[in-house]
């Protein structure tokens, strides 16, 4: 209606009835009161977590999870409601949890959660009945039980179903890994790590939101976003205690140092970085300074070379898949390690670091390795592969 033309009141009522909720007569969307109420509830719950206030936490609903996470040093903890599906006096809320470990996380960890809520009557306050990982989201440590915390000089170890003595052992290994990585990698990084030690491989798989069968032969993995420190949430080294416990002392240290290397190189690892380089470099740092020679450290690939089956090309990303056969996966890691070891020996350790960073500066995989080889190593992929194959003959033949 143009200008100041008067509209009979009955017309105004009729117009309002035609509009679809939640749009008001003025055309402005009105806030969903239930969603706002749930957000306020979760704001109080977050404040209780940060304030270590068990009573306040219990007033927001189910309090069973409070004890599981109370030992964790938190700098931030907040919820953001993304959707609420209400049915009478019950509701299901989709929520984004963001938290940061005090002194360790530069960025927040983001986790999807699904909360069941209820209230007594239409005017009653909402209360949390349950809080679980969202569909296709991994668990958090406290979802698996009470979290025990051990602090090292350069590490924070969070364990579930593990003794304090066992967690101190992991902290000691991580505390040796951090300076070992810093001695090899000259990039800027936090020089501290967070290690998660669940009760079993099933617990590891739960944290990763994947089937346990994918990780039975994997001693540890590192989670985190690649490509830009300012955008990356905190890294976590997640241990498979079943496989890790089968390793000897050197193997345990190599694994923790390998995973710590992934934390250190995270900002320079992008979609352009092939796995033979990222995994090979991490193994190179892991074995650096040890007296382990290639025959001992690369038995699977050594057997192939000794039998005259020299690989024709560097390992592909598919060769590193967790679903690969154990011997094939071992050969992929060994081949990547020896490629990086060759660069360190023939071009120098500084050039190896420069090469790693140069590959990661590219936006995509195509051409990244070729350009970095030309710029940093003064070679081509074909020449590099030929040199690598000769290196395998020399070291493993």
pLDDT score for 106: 87
pLDDT bin (cut points 50, 70, 90) of residue 122 is confident
* Per-residue model confidence as pLDDT tens digits over 177-207: 999 999 999 988 999 999 999 999 999 999 9
**Which pLDDT belongs to residue 14?**
30
| Average pLDDT value over all residues in the chain | 90
Give me the pLDDT at residue 397, please. 82
90-101 and 74-87 strand pairing: antiparallel
CA–CA gap between residue 306 and residue 301 (Å, rounded):
9
Task: Write out the residue limits of the CATH 3.30.2010.30 domain(s) in the chain.
Answer: 138-267
CA distance 79 to 99: 9
For the entire predicted model, the pTM comes to: 0.89
Which one is predicted more confidently, 381 or 323? 381
Q: Which CATH number among 2.60.120.260, 3.40.50.720, 3.30.2010.30, 3.40.50.300 corresponds to the domain 138-267? A: 3.30.2010.30
CATH 3.10.450.50 spans which residues of the chain?
Answer: 33-137
Condensed to tens digits (0 to 9), the pLDDT of residues 262-303 reads: 999 999 999 999 999 999 999 999 999 898 999 999 999 999
Residue 340: pLDDT over 50: yes
For residue 11, count CB atoms less than 10 angstroms from its CB and return exposed for 0-12, middle for 13-18, buried for 19 or more.
exposed
Predicted confidence at residue 30, as pLDDT, reads: 53
The band of 160, judged by pLDDT with boundaries at 50, 70 and 90, is: very high
* Residue 214: band (very low, low, confident or very high) from pLDDT cuts 50, 70, 90: confident
CATH number for the 33-137 domain, one of 3.10.450.50, 3.40.800.20, 3.30.360.10, 3.40.30.10? 3.10.450.50
| Per-residue exposure over 243-273, b if at least 16 CB sit within 10 Å of its own CB, e if not | bbeeeeeeebbbbbbbbbbbbbbbbbbbebb
């Amino acid at each position: 209606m143009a200008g100041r033309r008067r509209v009979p009141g009955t017309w105004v009522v009729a117009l309002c009835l035609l509009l679809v909720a939640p749009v008001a007569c003025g055309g402005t969307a009105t806030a969903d009161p239930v969603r706002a109420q749930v957000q306020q509830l979760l704001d109080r719950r977050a404040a209780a977590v940060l304030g270590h206030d068990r009573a306040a936490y219990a007033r927001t609903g189910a309090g069973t999870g409070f004890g599981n996470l109370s030992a964790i040093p938190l700098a931030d903890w907040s919820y953001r409601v993304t959707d609420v599906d209400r049915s009478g006096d019950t509701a299901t809320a989709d929520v984004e949890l963001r938290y940061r470990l005090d002194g360790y996380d530069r960025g927040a960890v983001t986790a999807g959660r699904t909360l069941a809520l209820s209230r007594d009557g239409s005017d009653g306050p909402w209360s949390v009945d349950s809080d679980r990982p969202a569909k296709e989201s991994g668990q958090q440590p406290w979802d698996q039980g009470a979290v025990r915390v051990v602090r090292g000089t350069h590490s924070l170890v969070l364990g579930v179903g593990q003794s304090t003595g066992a967690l101190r052992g992991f902290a000691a290994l991580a505390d040796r890994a951090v300076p070992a990585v810093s001695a090899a990698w000259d990039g800027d990084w936090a020089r501290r790590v967070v290690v998660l030690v669940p009760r079993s491989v099933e617990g590891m798989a739960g944290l990763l939101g994947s089937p346990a069968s994918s990780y039975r032969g994997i001693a540890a993995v590192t989670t985190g976003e690649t490509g830009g420190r300012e955008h990356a949430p905190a890294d976590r080294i997640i241990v498979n205690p079943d496989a890790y416990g089968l390793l000897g002392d050197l193997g345990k240290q190599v694994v923790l140092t390998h995973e710590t290397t992934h934390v250190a190189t995270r900002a320079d690892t992008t979609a352009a970085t092939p796995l033979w380089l990222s995994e090979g470099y991490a193994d190179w740092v892991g074995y650096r300074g040890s007296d382990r020679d290639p025959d001992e450290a690369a038995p699977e690939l050594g057997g192939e070379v000794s039998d005259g089956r020299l690989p024709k090309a560097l390992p592909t990303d598919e060769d590193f898949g967790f679903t690969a056969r154990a011997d094939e996966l071992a050969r992929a890691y060994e081949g990547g390690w020896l490629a990086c070891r060759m660069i360190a020996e023939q071009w120098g350790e500084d050039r190896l670091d420069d090469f790693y960073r140069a590959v990661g500066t590219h936006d995509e995989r195509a051409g990244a390795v070729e350009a970095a080889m030309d710029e940093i190593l003064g070679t081509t992929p074909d020449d590099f592969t030929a040199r690598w194959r000769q290196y395998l003959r020399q070291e493993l033949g």
